[in-house]
Chains A and B, each alone.
Chain A
Amino acid sequence: MVRGARPEGRALLFWHKIFNGDQFARAIVFLCATSVIAVTCLLVYELWIHSELSRAKFGWSFLHTSVWDPINDQYGAAPFIFGTIVTSLLSLLIAVPLGVGAAIFLAELAPPRTSDMLTFLIELLAAVPSVIFGLIGIFVLVPFLQDYVVPALKGTLGFLPIFSGPFFGVSIFSASIVLAIMVLPFIISVSREVLLAVPRDLREAALAVGATKWESTWQVVVPFARTGIIGSIFLALARALGETMAVTMVIGNTPKIQHSLLAPGYSIAAVIANEFSEASGDVYRSALIELGLVLFALTIVINGAARLLIMATTAKGTK
């Protein structure tokens, strides 16, 4: 029997209790497991009661009013919800083709060792902290967009209302690009796993009836893995919705809904990050916490959908 050093007397009794006390051990681990549920419930509870003031004062109109006036204590979440959703969707618009394309390359085309190494590097990109992306966003991306990309964009597509108006660098457009780079690794790694899980026979069958490599990939393998890929997109969306620091640094902090992507905007996470520590007044703070509640609800729904979709395709997931 495996034994360590034997302590004496009362310590020995305690030792026996720990190591032979299965009930005791079981109780401890059960408590820890339950504490996860307790923490989550407590989180929802705290968000709920601390947003009470704001919910009582504004009700459902909080979600579609556009005013944000701390001086007169009038708050409406519409600009932030707009900013959050627009930046996230635009970032997906950029990141999904890039990400799924890269995942296809890594799963189908690249030799296994190259694929593993490249995936390793891409997963490192996911590990880069958000402030670093914010730093690069402010000092590298924004000047780059201002000097090269936006003039070119305005020259070609400037007639569109979404590209109208002056460009100050910080904008919804810049925030979307930074977000796109941040969610790219998630789309790539999950999609790659999902594509690798597609059975070989399908590919070989397609090739056997005369399809080219691209045709077999695009028309057979990818549709088979479609659910999982959509799951990865939802996961990326959930990540993009909650992303705070990089967005705060490049979005422009303007609580207005504007039709141009080149205009500055605001997102839920950004306004909480910027204004929470200085929020004077209970209604102000309560409004910010209610915003947190809205964000929480949004990400829960999207995350739940993502998990279900990914579960349906790969063997892993919450079982």
Chain B
Amino acid sequence: MLAMTGVFTFFTVGTLIFVLSYLFFKGGHDLNWDFFTKLPVPIGEVGGGMANAIVGSGKVLLLATLIGVPIGFLAGVYLSEYGGVTYSFVIRFTTDLLNGVPSIVIGIFAYTLIVLKTHHFSALAGGVALGIMMIPIALRSTEEFLRSVPVSLREGAMALGASKARTIATVVVPAAMRGIISGMMLNLARVAGETAPLLFTALNNQYWSPGWNQPIATLPVQIFTYAIAPYPDWHRQAWAAGFVLLALVLLVNITARTVIASGFSHKPR
């Protein structure tokens, strides 16, 4: 019976290894310089790449970070440093609620908020959707890491005469910075792989999209579009794109998690 639990564990780990290696072998050997630099070519022609999707993903994620990280971070500061008991409970509860909302519903929300009002599918809408998804985790991880800073650091700063805001800005936050940044990286990696909210906010685009008010190609949406299409060349490109996406996401995850695991709070010198 106990041995069976071991089998279950190794099955799970085995699945991960299978996913990784399959993507590596299927997608890895199709990766070439064209993939990163060329635009998609018309259906039926072989070749082309996903340069616009990679850049598009970067653009949308940049906007998402600009929206999600400051709000989540500052809200986390509030919860950990200033909050009263009941109000903090309400905020944490709402954050967990928002975290649990399926990503497609957040896509609908961004659609009604921005696409309907501006009459455009746009990178802005996609960025806002992903930004909203980033807020709860940014908030929770900031709060957690700020809480782990020892009280003595805060008290020391206050004993020297610093006001509360100053203590937080110059003592507490830098002490927790490593953990907070790792948390944000994990957050970004999670949101980078999200497809559903982008399906009808950023839509998709075969070309470069200038500005923020045009539909934009993103890597996950491109993978989805290519995977469900009947063209073998598109399938090949979907695998390559999947490999790139997975490699990036896992790289960021592993880095962030190792940094967190190796100790994140300010060590006294």
* A104 / chain B contacts, CB cutoff of 8 Å: 2, 5
Q: Are B162 and A2 in contact (CB under 8 A)?
A: yes
Interface residue ranges of B92-129 to A (CB < 8 Å):
92-98, 100-109, 111-113, 121
Can you give 23 A-B contacts (C-beta < 8 A)? Answer: A21-B165, A26-B165, A32-B71, A32-B78, A33-B78, A35-B71, A40-B98, A42-B109, A43-B109, A99-B12, A101-B5, A105-B5, A127-B193, A127-B249, A129-B192, A130-B193, A131-B227, A135-B227, A139-B227, A244-B195, A245-B196, A318-B92, A319-B89
B37, CB-defined interface residue at 8 Å: no
The interface centre, meaning the residue of A22, A33, A42, A133 with most chain B CB atoms within 10 A of its CB, is A33
Interface residue ranges of B56-114 to A (CB < 8 Å):
70-72, 74-75, 77-79, 81-83, 87, 89-98, 100-109, 111-113
Q: Which 4 A-B pairs have the closest CB atoms?
A: A129-B193, A242-B102, A25-B165, A303-B100
Q: Are A245 and B195 in contact (CB under 8 A)?
A: yes
Digitize A292-307: 1 where CB-to-B-CB distance is under 8 Å, 0 elsewhere. 1001100110011001
> For the complex, what is the distance from the CA of A138 to the CA of B190, rounded to whole Å?
22
A184, CB-defined interface residue at 8 Å: yes
How far, in Å, is B14 (CB) from chain A's closest CB?
A: 10
B238, CB-defined interface residue at 8 Å: yes
* A238 / chain B contacts, CB cutoff of 8 Å: 100
- Number of A positions contacting B (CB below 8 A): 89
Q: Are A129 and B220 in contact (CB under 8 A)?
A: yes
* B109 / chain A contacts, CB cutoff of 8 Å: 42-43, 46-47
> For the complex, what is the distance from the CA of A22 to the CA of B77, rounded to whole Å?
13
A140, CB-defined interface residue at 8 Å: yes
Residues of A whose CB lies within 8 Å of any CB of B are 1-2, 18-22, 24-26, 28-30, 32-37, 39-40, 42-43, 46-47, 50, 97-99, 101-102, 104-106, 109-110, 118, 120-125, 127-136, 138-140, 181, 184-185, 188, 213-214, 217-218, 238, 241-245, 248-249, 269, 272-273, 276-277, 288-289, 292, 295-296, 299-300, 303-304, 307, 318-319
Q: In this complex, what residue of A is CB-closest to B243?
A: A132
> For the complex, what is the distance from the CA of A174 to the CA of B102, rounded to whole Å?
21
* B184 / chain A contacts, CB cutoff of 8 Å: none
- Number of B positions contacting A (CB below 8 A): 95
Prevailing SS type, chain B contact patch: helix
Q: Are A296 and B105 in contact (CB under 8 A)?
A: yes
> For the complex, what is the distance from the CA of A33 to the CA of B239, rounded to whole Å?
41
Query: Which one, B45-53, B132-140, B206-214, is touching chain A?
Result: B132-140
> For the complex, what is the distance from the CA of A233 to the CA of B203, rounded to whole Å?
34
> For the complex, what is the distance from the CA of A24 to the CA of B15, rounded to whole Å?
51
> For the complex, what is the distance from the CA of A296 to the CA of B97, rounded to whole Å?
10
* A276 / chain B contacts, CB cutoff of 8 Å: 107-108, 111, 199-200
How far, in Å, is A219 (CB) from chain B's closest CB?
A: 12
Q: Are A127 and B190 in contact (CB under 8 A)?
A: yes
